[in-house]
Amino acid sequence: MPAGTVKSATRVLQVLEYFAQVRKPLALKQISEALGYPQSSTTVLLKNLITLGYLNYNRADRVYFPTPRVASLGDWVTQALFGQGRIVEVMRDLHSVTGETVSICMLNDIYLQYIRVIQSTHQLRFHTDEGSMRPLTLSAAGWLLLTDRSDAEIENLVRRANIAASRKEDRVALDVIAPQVADARERKSLYMENMPLLGGATIGVVLPCRVQGRIAVLGMGGTIERMRPNRARYTALMRRLVQQLDEGAQA
């Protein structure tokens, strides 16, 4: 659990996120064991969520499941972020051709956050949770998201991200990142291997439109064995798809 978080609030969100992952009714023991909570405190937490109308309890089967009220909390977010959904259509088109994990990424302070994710359909794949975050220094998409920042802003963000990194090996020097960001400013795209995951490769392309006034990146990731030989083809495809967004905005 991240330092400085409120335990009860964190646990509520973790329970709801766990349901989003498994997508099936769960018993008390399953929830407490999966999340590492004591059964006593898990019982109190689930009862509170039932009282608030966010969980339904099936007494016959002794299982819990989210109610439609949970879904209604975020119904408006996709519309607010992505308008009429053209960005989501581009994601689906890219995913249908490649089968790889496709995401929309934005900066959240010193972190890269995966705002929207379509998971890979390949047997060998890397799973990325929607809404999850990682230090901006540890991702091709994170470096791309720095391309609209000044050199001073980039230095500040990289320094803060490295300070926040708990492991020394997760700290990436500014003189490694800065040349890549400078090059990506011109190409509006970036390809990277073994970051953030060993054996994985990522292609990122800057979206031509802003999301809530902020820069966003279309990312795609998979194993190096699949991504490397298709790097040029996939990058060209991503460029064509994001160009459609630009043309649609101008129409």
Tens-digit pLDDT profile for residues 100-151: 999 999 999 999 999 889 999 999 999 888 888 899 999 889 999 999 999 9
Regarding whether 151 and 59 lie in a shared domain, the answer is no
Regarding whether 81 and 165 lie in a shared domain, the answer is yes
Q: pLDDT tens-digit profile of 182-226?
A: 999 999 999 999 988 899 999 999 998 887 788 999 999 999 999
Regarding whether 176 and 57 lie in a shared domain, the answer is no
Regarding whether 81 and 180 lie in a shared domain, the answer is yes
Regarding whether 238 and 157 lie in a shared domain, the answer is yes
Give the residue-averaged pLDDT of 22-26. Answer: 92
Q: Is 70 exposed, middle or buried (0-12, 13-18, 19+ CB in 10 A)?
A: middle
In this prediction, residue 162 has a pLDDT band, given cuts at 50, 70 and 90, of: very high
How much is the pLDDT for 153? 95
Residue ending a domain, among 49, 66, 83, is: 66
In a domain, 148, yes or no: yes
Tell me how far CA of residue 221 lies from CA of 70, 166, 237, 238, in angstroms: 29, 25, 14, 12
Pairing label, strands 55-58, 189-193:
unpaired
d(Cα 107, Cα 136) in Å, to the nearest integer?
Answer: 7
Q: Is the pLDDT of residue 2 over 60?
A: no
Give the residue-averaged pLDDT of 149-159. Answer: 95
Residue ending a domain, among 66, 90, 107, is: 66
The tally of domains found in the chain comes to 2
Least confident span in 45-49, 76-80, 114-118: 76-80
Q: Is the pLDDT of residue 154 over 90?
A: yes
In a domain, 1, yes or no: no
In a domain, 2, yes or no: no
How long is the chain?
Answer: 251
Could you tell me the sign of the dihedral formed by the alpha carbons of 120, 121, 122, 128, in that order? positive
The larger pLDDT score, comparing residue 196 to residue 72, is at 196
Regarding whether 200 and 157 lie in a shared domain, the answer is yes
Q: Is the pLDDT of residue 10 over 90?
A: no
Regarding whether 241 and 121 lie in a shared domain, the answer is yes
Regarding whether 29 and 130 lie in a shared domain, the answer is no
Could you list the residue range(s) of the whole structural domain that residue 145 is in? 75-250
- What is the average pLDDT value for the chain, to the nearest integer? 88
Query: CATH number, domain at 124?
Result: 3.30.450.40
Regarding whether 119 and 204 lie in a shared domain, the answer is yes
Regarding whether 57 and 30 lie in a shared domain, the answer is yes
Pairing label, strands 111-118, 55-58:
unpaired
Two tokens at 225? 């064995």
